[in-house]
Amino acid sequence: MGIRVCKFGGSSVADADQLRKVRAIIEARADRCFVVPSAPGKRYSADEKVTDLLYRADSATRSPDPKGLAFDQIFDLIAERYRKIVSDLGLAYDLDPALADVHAKIRGGAGPDYAASRGEYLCGLIVARLLDRPFVDPADMIVFDAKGRFLPEETQTRVADRLGREKSGVVPGFYGAQADGSIKTFSRGGSDMTGSIVARGVGAELYENWTDVSGLLMTDPRIVERPRTIPSITYRELRELSYMGATVLHEEAIFPVRIAGIPVQILNTNAPEDPGTRITAAGHDAVPAGRVTGIAGRKDFTIIALEKTLMNAEIGYGRRLLSVLERHGLSWEHMPSGIDTLSIILKSDAVDGKLDQLLADIREACQPDSIDVEKGIALVATVGRGMSHQPGTAARLFGALAGAGINIRMIDQGSSELNIIVGVENADFERTVRAIYAAFASAPRN
Ligand code: ASP
């Protein structure tokens, strides 16, 4: 039987009730061998995540706390949360020695990464007790270089070796260590990354990512009421949608499982029977022709459009334009082109304050006949592997936008036919998403 690695997010480990659900999920299948917990998250909307409290505690050792608490007062809030979890679970486990050690080290200046990592560490100790499984410290196997860069291949060798000796275990998320032993965390939300690393390390058959939503939605529920859940999505589609602002996993968490071809299942701790969303390599399932997987977008882009007669015959034109951007330290998002036109799309906040100089430099380097700037553009990406080689998809999309009276300022279709991106005015953003959703949500389900 294959191995499953189960990562539980902050809301899944927020209190004893949630942790009982975690235990029930783990005990429901014998192949749920490795568990990666986050730190306790919010129990209610005004609550504070343990990770945030730990960052506050660490900075209170150096400068006054913005909310006016002393280091010991903040630490007490943290310690009380853990003690309450242990007692509400009825565990015969004295966490105080571990809490005292963490207290002394943070107070002694161990730094923000060490402090923040203790949220997962302490939670991992409790989960290991609760499930009666070995606790495995990621500091011994997830490695970062002296500059704090994650080292994937060395980590893979170490994780495979260390966890290869265990049948099951609990590995706290979010951190590893540098060669000198100092603790280093991933960026926020990084327990997803640990789950993915562990899944690759043990050669898992499936990486289950347990959260508080029943999978990835087809579009933003703040724009479309109760959008459908996406049953399955490829790594590439997910990348396109996350780039456009859809969030479900830590940005880098897909890489370790992707290398190993391990699928990810997004599942809901509060509704474990819901099927959730499966993230896989392409070709895992047959998708109905014309099916759109998801729609996502973002506001506030700037388009710089250049026109020059016979641009197509001029060698080095694009290079000159891109080297101006490079000199200004700007990365571009899209570059749609015509025979005599070339447009660059940039995030508006990236060009704020430097647009005039940038345009002057482009004029000098590229000598365009004209140069137009459009600010306040929103980009909406319609993503779907079911769209490729499907005549009619674009017609349906543009028909929907025409029907809604939306003026399209830019169109870009990736050569893979995986997505069609339209640029519209910021003010039309929400209407655009709704119109596209309405046109495609009725397409056949998987
Ligand atoms: N606890 C960390 C955070 O809040 C990491 C995680 O939950 O994934 O960012």
**pLDDT digits over 364-385, tens only?**
999 999 999 999 999 999 999 8
Which DSSP category does 217 fall into?
A: B
Shared domain check, 190 and 64: yes
Q: Which of 191, 212, 233 finishes a domain? A: 212
Is any ligand 1 atom within 6 A of the Cβ of residue 167?
no
pLDDT in tens, 110-135: 999 999 999 999 999 999 999 999 99
Shared domain check, 177 and 31: yes
Question: E strands of 9-121, at which residues?
Answer: 32-37
* Percentage with pLDDT > 90 across the chain: 83
Q: Evaluate whether residue 421 is within a structural domain.
A: yes
Q: Evaluate whether residue 271 is within a structural domain.
A: no
H-helix or E-strand containing 266? Answer: strand 264-268
Shared domain check, 207 and 328: no
Expressed as residue numbers, the domain containing 412 is: 294-440
* Percentage with pLDDT > 70 across the chain: 98
How many CA atoms are closer than 13 Å to the CA of 199, on its beta-carbon side?
A: 30
Is any ligand 1 atom within 6 A of the Cβ of residue 119?
yes
Ligand 1 center to 8 CA (angstroms): 10
Shared domain check, 298 and 201: no
Mean pLDDT over residues 154-176, rounded?
Answer: 98
Atom 8 in ligand 1: which residue has the minimum CA distance?
Answer: 189
Ligand 1 center to 443 CA (angstroms): 36
Predicted confidence (pLDDT) at residue 444 exceeds the cutoff of 50: no
Q: Evaluate whether residue 236 is within a structural domain.
A: no
Q: Evaluate whether residue 340 is within a structural domain.
A: yes
Q: Looking at ligand 1, which atom is closest to the CA of residue 9?
A: 7
Is any ligand 1 atom within 6 A of the Cβ of residue 214?
no
Mean pLDDT over residues 389-398, rounded?
Answer: 85
pLDDT in tens, 41-50: 999 999 999 9
Predicted confidence (pLDDT) at residue 339 exceeds the cutoff of 60: yes
Q: Evaluate whether residue 267 is within a structural domain.
A: no
Mean pLDDT over residues 262-278, rounded?
Answer: 96
Cβ 121 vs Cβ 110: under 8 Å = no
DSSP 3-state of 237? helix
pLDDT in tens, 284-310: 566 777 789 999 999 999 999 999 999
Pairing mode, strands 294-307 and 370-383: antiparallel
Ligand 1 center to 41 CA (angstroms): 8
Shared domain check, 402 and 308: yes
Q: Evaluate whether residue 40 is within a structural domain.
A: yes
At 226 the pLDDT is: 92
Shared domain check, 344 and 203: no
Tokens for 223? 């724009």
DSSP 3-state of 13? helix
Is any ligand 1 atom within 6 A of the Cβ of residue 10?
yes
At 387 the pLDDT is: 83
Question: What's the CA dihedral at 127, 133, 137, 142 to 10 degrees?
Answer: -100
Atom 5 in ligand 1: which residue has the minimum CA distance?
Answer: 189
pLDDT band at 89 (very low <50, low <70, confident <90, very high): very high
Shared domain check, 312 and 409: yes
Q: What is the mean pLDDT of the chain?
A: 93
Is any ligand 1 atom within 6 A of the Cβ of residue 319?
no
As a three-state string, the secondary structure of 97-147 is: HHHHHHHHHHHCCCCHHHHHHHHHHHHHHHHHHHHCCCECCHHHCCEECCC
Q: Evaluate whether residue 255 is within a structural domain.
A: no
Neighbours of 153 (CB within 10 A): 9
Shared domain check, 195 and 341: no
Looking at residue 172, which CATH number applies to its domain? 3.40.1160.10
The total number of structural domains in the chain stands at: 2
Shared domain check, 305 and 177: no
Shared domain check, 302 and 195: no
At 242 the pLDDT is: 82
Shared domain check, 153 and 22: yes
At 247 the pLDDT is: 78
Predicted confidence (pLDDT) at residue 446 exceeds the cutoff of 50: no
At 286 the pLDDT is: 66
Name residue 5's amino acid: V
Cβ 189 vs Cβ 154: under 8 Å = no
Mean pLDDT over residues 222-231, rounded?
Answer: 93
Neighbours of 313 (CB within 10 A): 9
Looking at residue 391, which CATH number applies to its domain? 3.30.2130.10
At 340 the pLDDT is: 93
Mean pLDDT over residues 329-350, rounded?
Answer: 92
Atom 6 in ligand 1: which residue has the minimum CA distance?
Answer: 189
Ligand 1 center to 10 CA (angstroms): 7
Ligand 1 center to 190 CA (angstroms): 6
Q: Looking at ligand 1, which atom is closest to the CA of residue 49?
A: 4
Q: Which of 212, 247, 277 finishes a domain? A: 212
Is any ligand 1 atom within 6 A of the Cβ of residue 124?
no
Cβ 14 vs Cβ 40: under 8 Å = yes
* Most ligand 1 atoms within 8 A of CB, residue of 7, 38, 212 to mutate: 38
Q: Which of 197, 212, 227 finishes a domain? A: 212
Q: How far is CA 161 from the centre of its chain?
A: 28
Predicted confidence (pLDDT) at residue 415 exceeds the cutoff of 90: no
Mean pLDDT over residues 237-255, rounded?
Answer: 83
Ligand 1 center to 9 CA (angstroms): 8
DSSP 3-state of 28? coil
pTM: 0.86
pLDDT band at 441 (very low <50, low <70, confident <90, very high): confident
Q: How far apart are CA 227 and CA 416, in angstroms?
A: 26
Shared domain check, 42 and 161: yes
Ligand 1 center to 56 CA (angstroms): 14
Q: Evaluate whether residue 275 is within a structural domain.
A: no
Neighbouring-strand partners of residue 217:
229
